Structures are given as structure tokens and as C-alpha cells.
Structure 1
Amino acid sequence: MDYLHPKLDDAAIARMSSLALAHVGDAVYEILVRTHLACGGTQTAKNLHSQTITLVRASAQAKAIEHILPDLTEEEETVYRHGRNAKPKTVPKSATVAEYAHATALEALFGWLYLKQRYDRINELFGRIAETF
């Protein structure tokens, strides 16, 4: 299996829970942020780390989704809605329940796009988000 570019059929992806998609999407989103920062000239490891933490926390992700939500396709909106309605067992103290729900939805969307191998769409949506950094 190619773990960097997994090839799952639509049925396998559809069987995944929203929280499973968010689990994958969390990593996808973080690598996008880390790459954006590293390629943007941020110098020190400490600075890279602190900026990454700021941009991947639930409150920042909740704001990020606002920039792309109007441009989502119907299919993407469905994934987003299911992710938002997922019921995680815990919510971090640094986020409200609403922020965490929107962050989980964003992560589910990016996980779903990644597993569907829609890399151009990931870049398009993340590019819109990165313009706000």
C-alpha cells in the first residue's frame, strides 16, 4: 500500500466516520500549514512551531472555514456538515464547542479530499485560507 497516496474506492471512504476523516485531515491540514510557513521564509524552529500552533488550533480553523465555506461544492458541504455534527468525546479547553465543531468539519473535509486524491482542490481551498494568514 502507498500510505502517502492511498487509493481507496468511494465505498471505502464513505464507510469512514467523520471523525476518522478528521483524523486524517488534521495531519493534512497541519502539513499544509507547516509547508506554507517553512516556504514563506519563517526562520527559527521556535518561530515555525509557535506560528504553526497558532494556525492549526481549533479557533483558527473555525475562522479558516469561513473563508472557503461559500465556495464549497454540494458534495463538499455534505462532508463539512457531517464533520461539524460529529460528536467527539472531548473538546480542548482552548476552544468552544462551536469552534471545535467547525474545526473538526474543516479537518474532515481536508481528510476526505485527500483520500479522494483531490489534491488540486486541497491546494485551491488552502490557498484561499493561506491568503488570510
Structure 2
Amino acid sequence: MTETEISSLSVLSLAHIGDGVYELLVRTHLVSSGISRVDRLHKESIAIVNASAQAKAAYAIMDKLSEHELAVYKRGRNARVNSVPKNTNPACYHAATGLETLFGWLWLREETDRVKQLFTIILETL
């Protein structure tokens, strides 16, 4: 996608892409760490891919973000969502949406090295 096309996407579209990217990174990490039982993979991934854990992840990388990355994160965090799941609080949900937006934006810009760099920082906080 071109920069113009990426810029024209809605925040929640970027977050949707970022959600998939983040999930794939987590699953890849878990499988490469030697976990082979599907039930355990599922349990471990759920512990990492949820609003609370993603909010913690967002805070872990906050001071590592460029000015532009921080603006993208804030755009996602401040996006208006129709509903917040009952199992989380709005602040965590919005922070998680910001993280997903950032990962989606970076992925579509083909900045995979940066995605991996940020994910490595996140893994260190888990």
C-alpha cells in the first residue's frame, strides 16, 4: 500500500490489521519457544493477547516510540469505539487499541524490522 492509502484508512481498520499482526507474533513466539501442545499454546496466547496485557505492552514501548509512531498510537488510543468488552476497563481497551493501530500501521508500511524490535521489547516485560 502507498503512504496515501495507509493514511486514508480508518483507525479501527489499522487496529484490525494490527490485531492480526500481534496475534501472529505471539503465536510464532510461543511455537518457537518449544510449546507444542495446542491447548497450552491457546492458554498462553490468551494470556498475552488481551486488552490488559496489550495495555501493559503499550506502556512498555512508549518511551521507545518516535514522534510519528507516538502520534499513530495516540490516534488509535483515542479512537471512538462502540463498546468495550465487559472483562476489561476502558483505559486498558483504548491502550490496547492504540498498540494494535501502531502495529497495523507499521506492518502496512512494511516496517517489519521495527515491528519485531518493538515486539522484542514487549516480550522482555512479560
Per the normalisation by structure 2, the TM-score is 0.98
Please give the per-residue CA displacement for 1:9-67, whole angstroms capped at 9, x wherever unaligned.
Answer: 11100001111100000000000000000100123110000110110000000001111
Q: In structure 1, give the amino acid aligned to 2:32.
A: C
Note the aligned Cα RMSD (angstroms).
Answer: 0.7
Cα offset for 1:123? 0.5
Rounded Cα–Cα distance in structure 2 between residues aligned with 1:74 and 1:17: 20
Partner Cα separation in structure 2 for residue 93 and residue 41 of structure 1: 33
Residue 59 of structure 1, aligned match among 24, 46, 52: 52
Q: What aligned pairs does 1:64-83 form with structure 2 within 5 A after superposition?
A: 64-83=57-76
Q: Percent identity?
A: 48
- In the alignment, does 2:96 pair up with 1:103? yes
TM-score by length of 1: 0.93
Residue 28 of structure 1: aligned partner: 21
Shift, 1:132, TM fit: 2.1
Mark the runs of 5 or more structure 2 residues left unpaired by the alignment: none
Tell which deviates more after alignment, 42-51 or 27-36: 42-51
Are 1:13 and 2:17 counterparts? no
2:115 matches 1:84: no
Amino acid at match of 1:116: R
Amino acid at match of 1:51: E
Letter in 1 for 2:10: S
Task: Find out whether 1:94 has 2:87 as its counterpart.
Answer: yes
**4+ residue runs over 6 A deviation:** none
Matched, 1:114 2:107: yes
